[in-house]
Structure 1
Amino acid sequence: MGKIILNRLKHMDYSIIVVACLLAGFGLLMIYSSSYVLGYLEYGSANHFFIRQLQWFGLSVFLFIFVALFPYKNYRKLAPMLVIFSIILLILVLVPGVGVVRNYSQRWVGIGPFTFQPTEIIKLFMIIYFASFYSKSEEKLASFKTGVLPPLIILSVMFILILKQPDLGSAALILFACGFIIVCSGVKGRHLLMLGSVGMAIIVYFISSTSYRMERVTSFMDPFADPAGTGYQLVNGYIAIGTGGLWGSGLGNSVQKLGFLPEAHTDFIMAVIIEELGIFGLIILMGAYLFLMFRGVQIAKGTTDMFAKLLAIGITFQMMTQVIINLGAVSGLMPITGVPLPLISYGGSSMLFTMISLGILTNISIKNQMSAA
């Protein structure tokens, strides 16, 4: 056993570990910078959010190493159980007394002092399940009824349960990641066209079915029409970004985080980063994400195992889609959906399962390196 672990450590992709830890470390710095006033006012400690995120980071590093050394093929056997567990979690979120309400949304499960967001877990679990199911031979995928449809029924159930919270951003993110796995699996073109059309119709229907979702989606188009209401967060985000310019006002010198910009330490943390570090800070951050995307694509290309290939593609695409949605919301190019910036925004569940996902990606890379040796 010891020799096996040492051999895996020898072939580990340390570049992923270094970049992930640098991103998380930078996130801790910016969480402190953007939340110390809020932490002091609400909890009597300027370090409140920083300490909590640091604790999650410690646990995340431990689990990253564990999953990086745990053979990824075992996840294929666990896929059905992960689906059942995911549905149970989504039902628990909606149970009064178990589900925790924050900002008019019931997206968390509380167990004593411990609170977590199940959708962060489900993002990864659904990638594992879809990669497992669609890694079949092309002959089996040729049948729409038995080779394509079953996971989509489960995905539809989860999509509806997540919208009940409501959490349109996470629901769309899971839908896009699973859809990308299907595209890369070898499913027939006519099936893809049909699924794409149905998927877009479902998204449009659910967005337009309630005034709340419609307002969230359309308010970004003209935030200045209601700058004190629906456009308040985005307008203050614009002010932060506009103030930052090329080089920023300096680390810790953001004005918008002082009670003007809502969720400055969570989904709008990028506005604070640009205000303090300028466009230069954005470029450095995007360089780190693009490196992880490049490594994810290389790892997917380097394996002959279809399950590993789809798993690597799903993890990589899901993370980059999350980055795009977050930056799109902060810049006003996309609706504000509350999607956090991976490894940067405050949130233990997001930190934990992003690191676990990268650990699985590292595990696939280890297998590739060992096979090539």
Structure 2
Amino acid sequence: MKRMRNIDLTLLMVLLLFVTFGVVMVYSASYPYAYIQYDSATYYFHRQLFWAFISSLFLIGAMLLPYQIYGKLSPLLVLFTLAALILVLIPGVGVERNFSTRWIAIGGFLFQPVEFAKLAMLIYFAYFYSRKEAYIGHFGKGVIPPLIILAIIFGLLLKQPDLGSATLILFSCGIILFFTKIRFRHLFLLGSVAVSIFIFFAMMSPYRLERITSFIDPFADAQGSGYQLVNSYISIHTGGITGNGLGGSVQKLGYLPEAHTDFIMSIITEELGLFGVIAVLSFYFFLFVKGIRIAMQASDEFGKLLAIGITFQIIIQAFVNLGAILGMLPITGITLPFISYGGSSLIVTMVSAGILLNISAYSKL
């Protein structure tokens, strides 16, 4: 327990404050829709408050549990991930919403296996490559094995379909591989293959292609494929510098779909203005700097790679979400970490943050 004194308490406090901010914004963004759908303006607020409390307990648990244990459990984590992703595709077990089957109902709550897969694959990749440093120059023995598992996970996610999350996992694991001692030609080959796979699967599906191309000119079909993005633009534009005040969003009154999930940042911008944007971006920049510092000071290669993977995955997810609401990237259904509504996402993200904090306790400095 002496090592726990080395935990980055500043990061811990900022994380808890930001999750609290997320709960407030979920309430502000969701109460009109919640009242219409469930006759209770606080429906999503109470659920997110519950998940915030539970995820905080998970954060503390992950923070106290030595991170080395996760590496030893990585084969079991991968098996559980594969089983969950297969189960979600079984009729009667998986729950379909918005033409996608991504959830499993457990006790009245929806569990999204892909959220668990995001963390499990980071742990597996970091553990495998930390133990294969001597063989990393050997493509077949030192590089390929985890990529086979990654390809299977990618395929299962495409069946849901969830190209956004599949691509996020692909690139997050690629970041871990980048920070190993892999040969450049091997890295270049794998990167080229990954980009080619993404383009192939994006182009082969009319639904995915529409998602990708609609952000180029959303006004061409403002009442169809471009509807969400157009209303996101309106929300952001009306926010200005100071915003319309907390609770003052107009777009959440039935105009902007997914206002409390994928597009919650549009509501933050509309209500809190540029100040809200700066606050959110400052948090992610702070988390990035802290995460990289923790990785560089990690006591072993596994801790270093895992800290890098966790940090980049959270930042990439935030970047993709923010890029989507601004029309700079396709809308993929990727939520904003720590802020968007959702129990599975918040719990896994908080566990990831707890592991990052635990790695900081084993710092070399």
Q: Of residues 139, 145, 162 in structure 1, which corresponds to 2:140? A: 145
**Partner of 1:68 in structure 2?**
63
Paired residues in the alignment total 365
Q: Of residues 348, 351, 361 in structure 2, which corresponds to 1:356? A: 351
Pairing 1:56–2:51 present: yes
Whole-angstrom distance in 2 between the partners of 1:178 and 1:361? 16
Whole-angstrom distance in 1 between the partners of 2:155 and 2:147? 12
Pairing 1:345–2:340 present: yes
In structure 2, the residue corresponding to 1:101 is in which secondary structure? strand
**By how many angstroms is 1:115 displaced?**
1.2
Give the letter aligned to residue 90 of structure 2.
V
**Partner of 1:162 in structure 2?**
157
Pairing 1:178–2:136 present: no
**Partner of 1:203 in structure 2?**
198
In structure 2, the residue corresponding to 1:110 is in which secondary structure? strand
Q: Of residues 37, 43, 47 in structure 1, which corresponds to 2:38? A: 43
In structure 2, the residue corresponding to 1:100 is in which secondary structure? strand
After TM superposition, list the pairs within 5 Å mapping 1:314-333 onto structure 2: 314-333=309-328
Equivalent residues of 1:273, 1:281 under 8 A apart: yes
Equivalent residues of 1:16, 1:358 under 8 A apart: no
Give the letter aligned to residue 225 of structure 2.
T
Q: Deviation per CA, 1:332-371: give whole Å up to 9, x if none.
A: 0000001000010000111101110000000000111xx5
Whole-angstrom distance in 2 between the partners of 1:106 and 1:141? 37
Whole-angstrom distance in 2 between the partners of 1:257 and 1:211? 29
Equivalent residues of 2:132, 2:142 under 8 A apart: no
Whole-angstrom distance in 1 between the partners of 2:323 and 2:162? 17
Equivalent residues of 2:299, 2:362 under 8 A apart: no
Equivalent residues of 1:98, 1:111 under 8 A apart: no
Q: Of residues 58, 70, 74 in structure 2, which corresponds to 1:79? A: 74
**By how many angstroms is 1:114 displaced?**
2.4
Give the letter aligned to residue 359 of structure 1.
G
Which consecutive segments of 4 or more residues in structure 1 shift more than 3 A? none
Equivalent residues of 1:12, 1:362 under 8 A apart: yes
Q: Deviation per CA, 1:262-320: give whole Å up to 9, x if none.
A: 00000100000000011111011110111111110000011240000000000000000
Whole-angstrom distance in 1 between the partners of 2:119 and 2:72? 15
Q: Deviation per CA, 1:205-239: give whole Å up to 9, x if none.
A: 10011111111111100000000000000000000
**Partner of 1:246 in structure 2?**
241
Whole-angstrom distance in 2 between the partners of 1:87 and 1:15? 36
**By how many angstroms is 1:138 displaced?**
3.6
**By how many angstroms is 1:9 displaced?**
3.7
**Partner of 1:107 in structure 2?**
102
Equivalent residues of 1:100, 1:108 under 8 A apart: yes
Whole-angstrom distance in 2 between the partners of 1:138 and 1:27? 40
Gaps of 5+ in 2: none
Whole-angstrom distance in 1 between the partners of 2:277 and 2:5? 33
Whole-angstrom distance in 1 between the partners of 2:339 and 2:107? 26
Q: Deviation per CA, 1:174-219: give whole Å up to 9, x if none.
A: 0010000000011111100110111111111100111111111111
Pairing 1:305–2:322 present: no
TM-score in terms of structure 1 length: 0.96
**Partner of 1:289 in structure 2?**
284
Whole-angstrom distance in 1 between the partners of 2:3 and 2:239? 44
Across the aligned residues of Structure 1 and Structure 2, the Cα RMSD in angstroms comes to 0.9
In structure 2, the residue corresponding to 1:197 is in which secondary structure? helix
Whole-angstrom distance in 2 between the partners of 1:183 and 1:203? 19
Whole-angstrom distance in 1 between the partners of 2:289 and 2:154? 29
**By how many angstroms is 1:137 displaced?**
4.8
Q: Identify the range of structure 1 (321-330 vs 137-146) with the bigger mean alpha-carbon deviation.
A: 137-146
Gaps of 5+ in 1: none
Identity of aligned residues (%): 55
After TM superposition, list the pairs within 5 Å mapping 1:215-230 onto structure 2: 215-230=210-225
Whole-angstrom distance in 1 between the partners of 2:74 and 2:43? 37
Q: Identify the range of structure 1 (350-359 vs 14-23) with the bigger mean alpha-carbon deviation.
A: 14-23
Whole-angstrom distance in 2 between the partners of 1:276 and 1:53? 20
Whole-angstrom distance in 2 between the partners of 1:71 and 1:112? 30
Q: Of residues 119, 123, 143 in structure 1, which corresponds to 2:114? A: 119
TM-score in terms of structure 2 length: 0.98
Equivalent residues of 1:8, 1:69 under 8 A apart: no
Whole-angstrom distance in 1 between the partners of 2:284 and 2:25? 17
**Partner of 2:253 in structure 1?**
258
In structure 2, the residue corresponding to 1:148 is in which secondary structure? helix
**By how many angstroms is 1:19 displaced?**
1.1
**By how many angstroms is 1:15 displaced?**
1.1
